[in-house]
Amino acid sequence: MKSTVLSSLFAASLLACLAPGAAAQTRPAGTPAPASQQAKKPQQQTPPAQKPAQRPATSSTSTEVRQAATSVERDLGIFRDWVNDKLERAETGARRDLPRVMDEFDYQSKRIDKAVDSLSAQGKREYGNLKSRYHNWEATQRRLQEEAGQPQTQQQAQAQILGENVNLATVRASEMHDLYGRFIDYVRVNRHDWEPEEWAVASNVLTKLNTRYEKVREQIPMEERLRIRSWQAEFRTLEKAKQTKKALDE
C-alpha cells in the first residue's frame, strides 16, 4: 500500500515537470507570441518639414530709374516748347515780360537739372542747345531793353518804321508807294504788342506821309494811289480797334 502511494506521487511529479514543454509543442504555429515576448521595432522619425525657398525681394531700383527718366524727358519736352514759343514772340512784348520769362526759365531748368543724369546722350545735347538758344535770346532782349530805355527821337522812330532815314518833306512821288508799303507792313507785324505811345508814334509818321502824298498825288499812278488809300484806311481801322478793345478792358 505504501509503495503504491509513492508510485502515484512520483508519477504526478513527473507529469508536472513535463507539462510546460508539452504545452509549448501543442501551441498553434500561426499564433503570435505574446506582446511582451516580441522584439520592439524602432519608431521611424518624421523629418521636419522644409520651409519653401524664399525668393529674393525684387529690387525697385530699375523701376525708379525708368520713372525718373520718363519724368525728365517729359519736362524736357515742355521746356522745348516753352523756349520755341518765347523765341518766336515779337520783340516788344518779349522785352516787357522779360522778368517773368527769366523766372520761368529758372524754374523749368532747375527741374531738369535735378535729374539731368537720367537723360540719354541725345537728350542732354538737346537740353544744352535749348539753354544756349535761350541765353542768346535773353542777352539780345536785355540789350534791346536798355536801348529802348533811352529817349528815342521822332526821327529815330520814323527810321525804324520805314527802314531807312528819309526826309518825308522832300521824297519823290515815285517813292511814296514803297514807303507806304513799308509802313503798313511794320504796323501789321508789331501792332499786337503796342502801347498807346507806340500807336501815337506810328500815327505821326503816317500823318507826315499823308502830307507829302497830297502834294505829289497827281504824279502817282492811279493803281498805286488806290492801294495807298486802302493802306491809310487799314491803319486807322487797326488803331480804332485797339482803342475800342482798351476801352472795353477798362
229/161 same-domain check = yes
172/142 same-domain check = no
Residue 235 lies in a domain: yes
Residue 190 lies in a domain: yes
162/234 same-domain check = yes
- In angstroms, rounded to a whole number, what is the distance separating the alpha carbons of residues 139 and 37? 112
Last residue of a domain, one of 133, 148, 163: 148
Q: What is the per-residue pLDDT for 164?
A: 92
160/142 same-domain check = no
Residue 11 lies in a domain: no
Last residue of a domain, one of 148, 163, 198: 148
Domain that residue 86 falls in: 62-148
243/171 same-domain check = yes
Residue 46 lies in a domain: no
186/222 same-domain check = yes
Q: What is the per-residue pLDDT for 44?
A: 55
pTM of the model as a whole: 0.42
Q: What is the per-residue pLDDT for 149?
A: 62
Residue 136 lies in a domain: yes
Residue 28 lies in a domain: no
Domain count, the chain: 2
135/164 same-domain check = no
189/116 same-domain check = no
pLDDT values of the chain reduced to their tens digit, one per residue, 250 residues: 545 545 555 555 555 555 554 444 445 444 455 544 454 555 555 555 555 555 555 556 666 656 666 888 999 999 999 999 888 765 555 666 788 889 999 999 999 999 899 999 999 999 999 999 999 988 888 887 776 666 667 888 899 999 999 999 999 999 999 999 999 999 999 998 888 888 888 999 999 999 999 999 999 999 999 999 999 999 999 988 887 776 566 5
Residue 162 lies in a domain: yes
Residue 231 lies in a domain: yes
182/211 same-domain check = yes
With 0-12 CB in 10 A as exposed, 13-18 as middle and 19+ as buried, what is 150?
Answer: exposed
226/167 same-domain check = yes
Last residue of a domain, one of 93, 125, 148: 148
Q: What is the per-residue pLDDT for 16?
A: 55
98/168 same-domain check = no
Q: What is the per-residue pLDDT for 8?
A: 57
209/236 same-domain check = yes
